[in-house]
Chain A
């Protein structure tokens, strides 16, 4: 029996290495989230859909609402507290992440960034480890902001399931493209299930937020259809 790739697996399910790779046993495999190796068997820890990517990456795609930090993730956080040289940022995980004032573009000891409690930041996880406090930064390896930093000038922040956030970021998902054809807006999506949207006016913002939330269980055709309807409805409201 081959491994049930693309099928639903639930905690306690096990399969052997042989099931994963019936032909080539010596290839290296990499186990992603939700899988664990135990006594020469691979054990499922989380309910979800088993996925595979070449050359040998396996993981369980599950439906989360709670964010668990992972290194390199781009997230949206809310600055909660300022303690000495660091900010405490709520990124939706079990612990608040720390953000140093030096990890902004162009900031030095003299030139402190302008960050206040309550600000929204778009940042990347530098340290994500189950035993340590997560640390986020707003610069890339070359010291540039690369789109990260404090998000200013209004807009609207809302929460979605982590699945939806990943779906929005998936290049195959047409939602942002379809919406972009009809509206002018800015959006940033954190994989921690937080989405920030800013459009020309409130009516459009609300319409966009609703269409993002409604797209969770829709396929691409349905999404296109929905975008068409929404743009019609919005233009009618704006005329009134």
Chain B
């Protein structure tokens, strides 16, 4: 099976005269990187990489069966060690996010499983997980009401904001906010934060992240176009 690699170089900084803080790190996706799954993708955002795999609509465990909609399951595997409570929380946030995005009522009594393997966390890991899951769902052609894009913003002590922070930015920052937007109205679907922040900082982060989310959606479109037009 062929896989499709899409590379996006972020030269926007030079073009638009923005500082490097306002631009996402380069994204690379490898759709269909695994063969036996219904959908799979390996996504890197800068040096942060994760592999997401989707099965579905597949057979559902009897105790999880819902008669009016598909059950969404998320499994998150950290790079080292066994999943801890913090990963359970992350799984739940990711699951709730995709429950809203997936058109679950089209496949009642079935399961859509998303399995995410963290391969390298160099900052903004949560965004990378959400974005790779969304691409994997697109690769599996699961029906969705809208797509989602996650963007992480770090707030530094000095008041400076860093979009798509690296691991170092994250540890230096006083707080880290992750926003997830839907692709139709660019409204806020999910917010997760870590560290104190003020109301104004939340708002500024939102504006910055929303702008960046547009380029993530553009990246999804490019990736899918490349894959679909190749198989014609």
Which of A34, A49, A66 sits near B228, CB closer than 8 Å?
Answer: A49
| B-chain residues with CB within 8 Å of residue A62 when the two chains form the complex | 141, 228
Partner of B60, one of A47, A94, A131: A94
A216 to B60, CA, bound (A): 30
Q: Which one of B56, B110, B139, B145 contacts A12 once the chains associate, using CB atoms below 8 Å?
A: B145
Q: Is the CB of A95 within 8 A of B110?
A: yes
Complex interface: chain A residues within 8 A of B184 (CB): 12, 14
User: In this assembly, does A130 line the interface, its C-beta being within 8 Å of a C-beta of chain B?
Assistant: yes
A66-B57, A94-B59, A95-B59 known; A12-B106 Cβ under 8 A: no
Chain B residues with CB under 8 A of A48: 141, 228
User: Are A8 and B141 in touch, CB under 8 angstroms?
Assistant: no
Chain B's nearest CB lies how many Å from the CB of A65? 5
Cβ–Cβ contact B145 & A47, under 8 A: no
B144, CB-defined interface residue at 8 Å: yes
Give the complex CA separation of A163 and B32 in angstroms. Answer: 14
Contact of A10 with B147 at beta-carbon distance under 8 Å, contacts A66-B56, A94-B58, A94-B60 already known: yes
Mark each residue of chain B from 97 to 132: 1 if its CB lies under 8 Å from any CB of chain A, else 0: 000000100111111000000000000000000000
CA gap between A200 and B46 in the complex, in Å: 53
Q: Is the CB of A45 within 8 A of B232?
A: no
Give the CA-CA distance A46 to B225 in the complex, in Å: 13
Q: Which of B130-151 contact A (CB under 8 A)?
A: 138-147
Indicate whether A216 sits within 8 Å of B57 (C-beta atoms), given known contacts A94-B109, A95-B110: no
Which residue in B55, B111, B145 is a CB contact (below 8 Å) of A11?
B145
Cβ contacts under 8 Å, A63 to chain B: 139, 141, 227-228, 231
- B2 on the A face (CB < 8 A): yes
CA distance A217 to B2 in the complex (A): 8
Cα–Cα, bound, A206→B132 (Å): 36
| Interface: A64 (CB within 8 A) | yes
Bits for B56-71, please: 1 = Cβ < 8 Å to A, else 0.
1111100000000000
Question: Which residue of chain A lies nearest to B226 when distances are taken between CB atoms in the complex?
Answer: A8
Using Cβ atoms and an 8 Å threshold, which residues of chain A touch B225?
A: 8
Asked if A157 lies at the interface with its beta carbon under 8 angstroms from chain B, I say no
Per-position 1/0 for A1-35, Cβ under 8 A of B: 00000001011101000000000000000000010
> What's the minimum C-beta distance from B61 to chain A, rounded to whole angstroms?
12
B residues near A163, Cβ cutoff 8 Å:
231
* In contact, A11 and B183 (Cβ under 8 angstroms): yes
Q: A10-B138, A62-B141, A66-B56 are in contact. Are A94 and B147 (CB under 8 A)?
A: no
A95 vs B139: C-alpha distance when bound (angstroms): 22
Interface size grouping (class) on chain B: 35 or more
- In the complex, whether B88 has a CB less than 8 A from a CB of chain A is no
Residue on A with the closest CB to B105? A130
Who on chain B is nearest to A131 by CB? B108
Q: Are A94 and B111 in contact (CB under 8 A)?
A: yes
A9 vs B124: C-alpha distance in the bound complex, in angstroms?
28
Contact status B58-A12, CB under 8 Å? no
Closest chain B residue to A49, Cβ basis = B228
Q: Is the CB of B59 within 8 A of A45?
A: no
Contacting residues of chain A (127-175) with chain B, CB-CB under 8 angstroms: 130-131, 161, 163
B146 touches A12 (CB 8 A): yes
**Given known contacts A47-B141, A63-B141, A94 and B57 CB-to-CB distance under 8 angstroms:** yes
Q: Which residues of B contact A36 (CB under 8 A)?
A: 103
Smallest CB separation, A210 vs chain B (Å): 13
Please tell me if B189 contacts chain A, counting CB pairs below 8 Å.
no
Q: Is A68 an interface residue (CB 8 A)?
A: yes
Q: Which residues of B contact A66 (CB under 8 A)?
A: 38, 55-58, 140
Contacting B at CB under 8 A, from A108-135, are: 130-131
Q: Out of A47, A65, A95, A130, which one reaches B224, CB within 8 Å?
A: A47
A12: which B residues are within 8 A, CB to CB? 144-147, 182-184
Complex CA gap A64/B139 in Å reads 8
What are 9 A-B residue pairs whose CB atoms fall within 8 Å in the complex? A8-B225, A10-B221, A12-B146, A46-B143, A47-B138, A63-B141, A94-B57, A94-B107, A163-B231
Residues on A lying within 8 angstroms of B by beta carbon are: 8, 10-12, 14, 34, 36, 43, 45-49, 62-66, 68, 93-95, 130-131, 161, 163, 213, 216-217
